[in-house]
Structure 1
Amino acid sequence: MALEIPEGIKTWSQFGHPILMWTLFGITIYALYLGVKSSKVRSADKETRKELIKQNFSQRHHKMGSILLALMVVGNIGGMAVTYINNGKLFVGPHLLAGLGMTCLIAISASLVPYMQKGNDLARNTHVSLNIVLLGLFGWQALTGMQIVQKILDRMMS
């Protein structure tokens, strides 16, 4: 017995992924801000460091990173699932491949945290570099994703 998803749910489910991803793009920029502030704590003089530590930039950065990792994986899988449900196939192209690459980048970046906590500068520099690439890909994904949303809207209007 095949489970039939109501047409209304199939249609409107296509907008969950873009909404989640735009939200995550904003959270990514916020996590970058927290990471820069956390870095400043490490390099600040003693008095400034005391004041900055009170703001918990490092802990907040870590929490945002954890949320990003979890929701990016869920959003990636969800986007692929909705595409498959609505089209019977995935469209293997730059948007999908870059999204999968981003999921790998964020997982690798998160896996470096234990090494960074032990003071490994190579891990820290790699973490920062991966996240800069991730942010660039995220911006590009946002634009190409809106092109896909426009195609969906055009199809809905016809």
Structure 2
Amino acid sequence: MELPIPESVKPWLNFFHPVLMFILLALTVYALYLGIQIRRTRSAEGEVKKELIKGKFNLKHHQAGSLLLAFMVSGTIGGMAVTYINNQKLFVGPHLLAGLGMTGMIAISASLTPWMQKGFDWARYTHIALNVTLLALFSWQALTGIEILQRIISKM
């Protein structure tokens, strides 16, 4: 299927996915920081706890996670779409497979929210493990994405 996208626009579509993903990588690190602050709040006592509660880290973490979920799924689909539009095929390799795995992991992680809100520790630990793994994969994805971007730029 040929999409009627002007040839002058097609090469620039290649940059939307990487820019979005680097923003999301930064947002992921921020969400990690917020999650750590939630853990600190949970274990704090007295005045320290009162001060930490004022930071509303739980609300900010939930909002950051919601943005991450929405834009990671959209960014994954968008990256695949642009690759297909420009090449009439997808390149099945480690970058794509890890990205699809990350998309599944963030969806599972977000789906644990109701159990975490009810205080189930297994859900919290699973959420943490998934997201630490996600951050590690995301960091690796950034490196492989730069390699792919360099190949695209060299062909322009």
Q: TM-score range by the shorter chain?
A: over 0.9
Q: How does 1:138-157 map to 2 (within 5 A)?
A: 138-156=138-156
- Pair 1:3–1:89, CA change in 2 (3 A): closer
Query: How many pairs are equivalent?
Result: 156
Secondary structure of 2:8's match? helix
In structure 1, C-alpha distance between the alignment counterparts of 2:40 and 2:135, rounded to whole Å: 20
Contact kept in structure 1, 2:3 and 2:85, CA below 8 Å: no
**Structure 2 unpaired stretches of 5+:** none
Match of 1:15 in 2: 15
Q: Deviations over 1:20-66 (max 9, x none)?
A: 00000000000000000011110001221111111100100000000
Q: Percent identity?
A: 63
1:78 aligned onto 2:78 = yes
In structure 1, C-alpha distance between the alignment counterparts of 2:3 and 2:137, rounded to whole Å: 36
TM-score norm. by structure 1 comes to: 0.97
In structure 1, C-alpha distance between the alignment counterparts of 2:51 and 2:134, rounded to whole Å: 31
Q: How does 1:1-158 map to 2 (within 5 A)?
A: 3-156=3-156
Moved over 2 A (4+): none
**Structure 1 unpaired stretches of 5+:** none
In structure 1, C-alpha distance between the alignment counterparts of 2:9 and 2:133, rounded to whole Å: 34
TM-score norm. by structure 2 comes to: 0.98
Q: Deviations over 1:103-140 (max 9, x none)?
A: 00000000001100000000000000000000000000
RMSD of the alignment, in Å? Answer: 1.1
Letter in 1 for 2:16: G
Secondary structure of 2:127's match? helix
